[in-house]
Amino acid sequence: MYLGLDVGTSGVKALLVDADGRTVGSADATYDVTNPAPGWSEQDPADWTGGVAQALAQLRSAHGSAFAAIKGLSLSGHMHGAVLVDAEGAVLRPCILWNDTRSHAEAAEMDAAEAARDLSGNIVFPGFTAPKLAWVARHEPEVFAKVARVMLPKDYVVWWLTGRYATEMSDAAGTAWLDVGKRDWSDTLLSLGGMTRAQMPDLLEGTDVVGPVQSARADLGLPQDAQVVAGGADNAVAACGVGALGEGDGFVSLGTSGVVLAGRDRYAPMAANAVHTFCHAVPGRWYQMGVVLAATDSMNWLARITGQSAGALSDALGTKVQAPGGAKFYPYLSGERTPHNDAQVRGGLTGIDIASTPQDLTRAVMTGVSFALRDSLEALRGTGAQLDSALAIGGGTRSPYWTQLLATVLNLPLERPDEGAFGAALGAARIAICGVTGAAPAQVMSKPPITDVIQPDAAHVAAYDDAYAAFAAAYPTLKAMP
């Protein structure tokens, strides 16, 4: 048996699978995020370890004999978080999370350095780990002086399980300390924030074995010979869960945020378009993604102001895509990532009139988010990435109308996997299988079963191409608004 642990921002999911990757059982535990100041987002690392212990106890109770047969486990984790510990491993302050924006000034300073984008392959975003440490150095110098090691969230759990300070390429790539092309820490990037290699974890590939579960964690009931495999960052591990490893493989995710991800066989960064270029969770591969900050979050916003649920708003549209309407929505409710890298721009709703209905607004919101994802797809294509089709995942793809609309806007066939047949926990379990058995990732990380393939509506592709061009041209006007 093998175990995948997905350490998320809102909770932990544990997935137990057999040697063929078939699900045996699952469990989860939840915890909270704290926001001590505007733009701040923090979490106590003890919440993650407590959540892992709770989820494992559930699995052990429900699947005792299978749990006792676990040979390996691996982890997926939310990226960029800064866990700071002293020389004894004691946590010095709450973890600053990926969606914390307090270090915007420090990020801009680092990004201005000539070598930053060249070496990291990315803009230095405020959410990345390096500017967080620069913020701590500036605002909490007494804490910074005690920092012996910095860990990413999932790697804190790895240390708790094994006693070893280790990370892997996909999570390290989101710190702005890694030379992403060479897959090694960069002394130049480290020096920009006053950090050293000695403060970094050991650097592994995602399928490398970190070590056995230490005796101090005997209370978890894991077998003594169970090996912990390094794992990866959440999107990279999700890509492992859907078989998106190399050229031509990818997915579109309609979740709280939106993601267009493409696997790459080579390193081909394009930081200027706010495309993320990261190492994959498997050796010798990279992946690139564009990020839309408010995808289903935009529908949740509309649901709040109309007093209807997002599901009810979607159901009212039926399934047949209509031509672009007069109402236009720009989904920059929390700023935007790809291709604008603009935390300050805000959304817009135009073209409404006295006769506009909730259905008109729903179509406008879904269209605006789909156009923003088209922005990301075009940015990825600018790097040489090629997607002729893509998996469609995330809660928004439960809407037949939205999925059909998205396929039409992207002009891509979208494959919807079986519900529950994918995800970061499955990707982590697959990484564990590869790490323990030595199996090649391409053999283990196959695509999930497909429920259906949504083709673009050919009758509306040209009209949506024209409407997308107008959407893309509107950004400077929105940016200029006070």
Active site residues: 234
The token pair at 80 is: 């960029």
From start to end of 116-257, where are the E strands? Answer: 149-151, 166-168, 178-179, 184-185, 202-204, 209-212, 227-233, 250-254
The token pair at 335 is: 């700023």
How far does the chain reach from its first CA to its final CA, in angstroms?
57
Cis peptide before 476, with omega less than 30 degrees from 0? no
In this structure, what are the phi and psi dihedrals at residue 451, rounded to the nearest 5 degrees? -75, -50
Alpha carbon of residue 5 to chain centroid: 15
CA gap 180, 236 in Å, rounded: 14
DSSP structure class, residue 201: P
Within 13 A of 352's CA, how many CA atoms are on the CB side?
A: 15
CA gap 309, 328 in Å, rounded: 21
Cα angle for residues 471, 474, 480 (degrees, 5° grid): 155
